[in-house]
Amino acid sequence: MSQAAPPPLPASGRAPAAAGAPYELPAELPCVSCGYTLRGLMTDGRCPECGTDLAASLDPRLLRFAPPAYVRTLAMGLLVIFGGGSLCFIATLVLTILVQTLAEGPREQGLGIATMVSGLVATCLMGILGTWLLTTPDPESWDEPLLSARRTTRVVVPLLLGYLLLALLTVAADRAPYADDDLLPAEVVALAAVVGLLAALAYLRGLVGRVPDGRLKRDLGITFCGVALAPVMVMILAAVDDSHPRTPRDANLLSIIRIVATLWPVVFGLSSLSVMLRSRLRFRDSAKLARANWDAGVRVVGGRVVVEAAHQGGHDEHD
């Protein structure tokens, strides 16, 4: 059952002080600002290293206080997408090039195509599985809007990858792969890809805010804007290709625009991979913290971080 959301973080980025009597932190909890270990400090104090209120490190929305299994699932989702998907894609590329290089007849060339299709099918399956794991609902989440980034990602990305999977299987079965009635228009597929990627980046940005990692969250915001502008760049590229410059100066200007519009999707596509990989590493660290907190009896109860009585070492329980 969802619980009421805690008060929003103020502009300073510090969480409001928790209600109730202060208690000693029993776990190896790092400060959200500088990473200093706060174990043994009282919750109403400040970080001795940077002076940040300890309340900021005790925001119940942080992933370090989420159920460990949930945080591990998030990290596993990105690992499946990057680990499994990347290995499948690289293996497909290498094997296809190898088979095509050694091909001496139609049979060998057909084997190369089959190898490529099989590898891409495996990549799509990894993407579907990884996305499903990554978008697992938080068992202790606040009320979630119907059209949230998580739900959009969970629906659009697997559907898109499922369509690509069906298209690949159609090609492999030689069932009129290029027939217009069998495949969706390229514009529809491209739009779904952009919507899915934007939803995934927005969802990741929200999760990274719960690590927290301000720099990574900023980079995700920049990548989000770049991906959102990618379709515009593609349209600009199409317009430039259809244009006919009248002077050498116009030709040079169009060449610069063409280069920028061509590189834009590539740069922000790679940027998307980079921020997702960095997110995976931060989720892995958060999973370790969540397990340590769980073992130390740290729980979120009623929207507050508390320590179970059995783990307080003589301090009173805080309801």
User: In this structure, are 187 and 285 located in the same domain?
Assistant: yes
Q: How far is CA 11 from CA 8, 14, 297, in A?
A: 9, 8, 31
User: In this structure, are 100 and 25 located in the same domain?
Assistant: no
pLDDT category at 20 given cuts 50, 70, 90 is low
User: In this structure, are 113 and 164 located in the same domain?
Assistant: yes
User: In this structure, are 54 and 142 located in the same domain?
Assistant: no
What are phi and psi for residue 253, nearest 5 degrees? -65, -45
Its domain, for residue 185, covers 65-295
User: In this structure, are 70 and 56 located in the same domain?
Assistant: no
pLDDT category at 26 given cuts 50, 70, 90 is confident
Let me know the angle formed at the C-alpha of 40 by 307 and 14, rounded to the nearest 5 degrees: 75
Question: How far apart are the C-alpha atoms of 304 and 3, rounded to whole Å?
Answer: 11
User: In this structure, are 158 and 110 located in the same domain?
Assistant: yes
pLDDT tens digits, 48-76:
988 888 888 888 889 988 899 999 999 99
Q: Mean pLDDT throughout 14-19?
A: 42
pLDDT tens digits, 261-270:
888 888 888 8
User: In this structure, are 151 and 289 located in the same domain?
Assistant: yes
Question: How far apart are the C-alpha atoms of 113 and 117, rounded to whole Å?
Answer: 6
User: In this structure, are 69 and 56 located in the same domain?
Assistant: no
- Of 70 and 5, the one with more pLDDT: 70
Torsion, Cα 279 280 282 287, to 10 degrees, reads 140
Concatenated DSSP letters of 148-194: -HHHHHHHHHHHHHHHHHHHHHHHHTTS-TT-TTTS--HHHHHHHHH
Residue type, 108: E
User: In this structure, are 263 and 139 located in the same domain?
Assistant: yes
Return the closest-CA partner of residue 42 out of 15, 20, 13, 65: 20
- Total number of domains in the chain: 2
pLDDT tens digits, 81-133:
887 777 777 777 777 677 667 666 666 666 666 777 777 778 788 888 888 99
User: In this structure, are 54 and 146 located in the same domain?
Assistant: no
User: In this structure, are 207 and 318 located in the same domain?
Assistant: no
Query: Does this model's pTM top 0.85?
Result: no
User: In this structure, are 45 and 146 located in the same domain?
Assistant: no
